[in-house]
Chain A
Amino acid sequence: MAEKLLVIDNISKRFGGLQATNEVSFDVNKGEILGIIGPNGAGKSTLFNLITGFYPIDSGSITYRGSRIDGLTPDKICKLGITRTFQVARPFGGLTVADNILVACLPKADKVSAARARVEEVLKIVSLDKKAGVLGADLTTLERKRLELGKALATNPEILLLDEVMTGLKPKEMDDMMELIRELKKTKTIVIVEHVMRVIMNVSDRIIVLDHGHKIAEGLPKEIAENPTVIEAYLGRGAKNA
């Protein structure tokens, strides 16, 4: 039995009249890649916001390595070892690419010089070493995506939460990104939210499916692809007869 790193137990979140997350439970095991899929508005990004403390949960509990992390602020959760990326990349526009990475290295570094020493290495991982001196605001969409991932990696997390890192990438770029994610899996546990089925089916060890805030399925990629409830959620009723 794999070691359970993160245990999500029965969490719910309501925004006014919208139940964004409804009694969702799942575990994240050490060393796996867990895919989260679901139609638009299923509550995938909300789930990330709840795990990383950006929104408080209404009920339930989130346990990381045996201690509760719900109620902690995002910076504390990051320092414990869980880092997320944002669906729309958020570079620090007024800082250079190198400084963006440096800022991300700093919170866990004893000295500024120690953080600075790591910047080059992280930049190489995300192929931005040639852009080190460019301002974050001047990057292309693809470069922003890479920087977003680079910043998350710079915090040296145990669990990496990736929110739609493939959006806007060309097929070849996606292959490269998948390669990178598989590489990262050797040292990290990854939870990935993704719309692109080819990617999620390929890289995930397990998949959970959300729809309207509910978890409707959980299983191996192959099982999920054939699950009638999932097909219905994506394609609507009647799809199975088509």
Chain B
Amino acid sequence: MKQKQSLMVMGILTLVLLAVYFLPLITFVKHILVLTLFYAFLGTGWNLMCGYAGRLSLGHAAFVAVGAYTSLLLFREFNLTPWIGMLAGGVFAVLVMLLIAYPSFRFGLKGPYFTLASIAVAEIVHNLLVYGRDITGGSLGMSLPYVPTSLAMFQFDGKEPYYLVILAFWLAAVFLTLKMERTRYYLEAIREDQDAAAALGISVNNNLIIAACISAFLVAIGGTFYVQYFRYIDPYSIAGFTLSLNMALVVVIGGSGTIFGPTIGAFILIPLTEVLRMTLGSQLPGLHLFLYGVLLVACIIFLPKGIASLPAIIKARQVKKTARVTQGSEGVL
């Protein structure tokens, strides 16, 4: 998609989502919308490193957790507003990312090996949170001290303000991805063939590290949002494998390495999961997971590059057809 088209899509989506804010929706639907945008935001962050650069991480929950615990602890201990704590959490997550990314990329860790390393890192963070009970509250988790609605303290009594906040976060992440046009091309080239990219003057390590750091920063900010919205975190829910996996699934189903893929994926998967759980969860426990699995398998078989790739697939087929017709009429080199 061209830059201008993407900007337009982004603008239209934002307007539609803003309009949704004024609809008289029931609380459950509002909750689903917040959750969907939250995953769309996390997915957009994950996508930078894992979609564009093809370094598949299944441990990104580690950075969500670092962001969440940092801002929460700063708020609890020093009464620091989570708006600033959020940035501190982001910076801390970037540092943790550098610790892993630098050696991984320096020594060319990729494919399943990088993925395994990312899972290991998430496990380490998870265990540190569980065993650091004195500071983190261990497996019991930690709750957010209540403050009546206060913009300065990033706490609201209704769901609506959270919707606006996560919409703004999502917009910022999408806009950032859009603005990184040059880096996106570099990352794609690196994903396809890193030596060939280097031979063309692209610095492989620098671009990978930039992508990894921005990715970690964004999902860490998502972590702070999680704390402020749910008012409670524990290592299992915020540093567990499920969150890492969901982040990846949203992007893979929607279309990894595309600007709106994560958003499309989130808007399909998250409402579906929540609705299935609500309707079937009590009478036929487990059926919602079964249906979820069927959808995943269908997507992987029929649309391995995600839903966002549909227009491109159709277009490529047409180009191929016309190319076949004109073949033979053109000269050789």
Contact = CB atoms under 8 A, between A and B. Distances in A.
Interface of A: 52, 54, 73-76, 78-79, 83-84, 86, 90-95, 99, 102-104, 106-108, 112, 126-127, 130-131, 133-136, 138, 142, 146, 151-152, 154-155, 170, 172-173, 176-177, 180
Interface residues of B, number: 30
B189 A103 contact: yes
Given A95-B188, A134-B323, A135-B316, A75 B198 contact: yes
Nearest to B333: A176
B182 A112 contact: yes
A103 B200 contact: yes
A180 B181 CA distance: 33
B186 interface: yes
Interface stretch (B87-95, B115-123, B201-209): B201-209
Contacts of A112: 181-182, 185
Contacts of A102: 185
Contacts of B330: 127, 130
Q: Name the 6 nearest CB pairs between A and B, nearest first.
A: A107-B201, A78-B201, A92-B192, A90-B196, A74-B198, A176-B333
A220 to B, nearest CB: 27
A91 B197 CA distance: 10
Given A79-B201, A107-B201, A94 B188 contact: yes
Contact of B333 (A78, A103, A177): A177
B191 interface: yes
Contacts of B315: 133
Interface of B: 181-182, 185-186, 188-189, 191-193, 195-204, 257, 315-316, 319-320, 323, 326, 330-333
Contacts of B193: 90, 92-93
Contact of B202 (A90, A107, A135): A107
SS class, residues of chain B in contact with chain A: helix
A99 B185 contact: yes
B190 to A, nearest CB: 9
Contacts of A170: 332
Contact of A155 (B188, B192, B195, B201): B201
25 contacts: A54-B195, A73-B198, A73-B203, A74-B199, A75-B198, A75-B200, A75-B203, A90-B196, A92-B197, A94-B191, A95-B188, A104-B200, A104-B201, A106-B186, A107-B201, A127-B331, A127-B333, A130-B326, A134-B319, A135-B316, A138-B320, A151-B200, A152-B199, A173-B333, A176-B332
Q: Most A CB atoms within 10 A — which of B191, B198, B204? A: B198
A90 to B, nearest CB: 4
Chain A CB within 10 Å, residue with most, of B186, B189, B323, B331 = B189
Contacts of B332: 127, 142, 170, 172-173, 176
A103 B185 contact: yes
B199 A95 contact: no
Which of B191, B202, B204, B333 gathers most chain A CB within 10 Å? Answer: B333
B333 A180 contact: yes
Contacts of B188: 92, 94-95, 99, 103
A238 B298 CA distance: 66
A108 B201 contact: yes
Given A107-B202, A112-B182, A173-B332, 6 more contacts: A75-B198, A94-B192, A103-B189, A126-B333, A130-B323, A136-B192
Given A127-B331, A130-B330, A176-B332, A95 B192 contact: yes
A94 B316 CA distance: 12
Nearest to A93: B192
B42 to A, nearest CB: 24
Contacts of A95: 188-189, 192
A151 B200 CA distance: 7
Contacts of A106: 182, 185-186, 202
A130 B185 CA distance: 22
Contacts of A108: 201
Contacts of B186: 103, 106
Contacts of B191: 94
Contacts of A104: 200-201
B133 to A, nearest CB: 46
B196 A134 contact: no
Contacts of A152: 199-200
A150 to B, nearest CB: 10
Contact of A52 (B197, B199, B203, B204): B199
A98 B122 CA distance: 39
A240 B205 CA distance: 52
Given A75-B198, A106-B185, A134 B320 contact: yes
A84 B199 contact: yes
Contacts of B202: 75, 103, 106-107
Contacts of B196: 86, 90-92, 151
Nearest to B315: A133
Most chain A CB neighbours (cut-off 10 Å) among B200, B202, B204: B200
A90 B188 CA distance: 14
